[in-house]
Amino acid sequence: MTTKPRKRRNDRNHLVYKLTCTADGSFYIGVTFVDKGKKKKSLDRRWRAHLRNALDYGKENLLSVAIRTHTPESFTKEILHVVRGKQACHDLERELIQELRPHLNMEGMGRKKTSKKEN
């Protein structure tokens, strides 16, 4: 049995969200896709992925460290914008990161803030 290659979807809704640590006011801006029109459920799914990265996989990015330091219960989730199309959503995310300067986003959109290599 052969399967057809999956068609790329450029018209799917995505959302820009904000995670705020109530303990110290630091925050994170991110993007995820909206699954079957359920915005809150989609954000909850992405939050669980952040928790897995922090608690199960021991990631060392700023958000993961903050989750471990302050506990997951000290974070609030907020949908900022719903945008049609992946690229448009990522463009808006970059604009918001430049404008709001979130504390927990990494420099270079996902790269480590400080490299382990010394140059």
The answer to whether residue 70 is domain-embedded is yes
pTM greater than 0.75? yes
Residue 108 lies in a domain: no
The CATH number covering residue 60 comes to: 3.40.1440.10
3-12, 23-32, 67-76, range with the lowest pLDDT: 3-12
> Cα separation of 78 and 102, whole Å?
14
Domain presence at residue 44: yes
Asked, for residue 57, whether it belongs to a domain, the answer is yes
Domain that holds residue 77: 13-100
Is 107 contained in some domain? no
How many other CB atoms are there within 10 angstroms of residue 104's CB atom? 20
Average pLDDT over residues 24-41: 96
Residue 23 included in any domain? yes
Q: What's the structural domain count of the chain?
A: 1
Read off the pLDDT of residues 35-57 as tens digits, 9 standing for 90 and up: 999 999 999 999 999 999 999 99
pLDDT at 102 over 60: yes
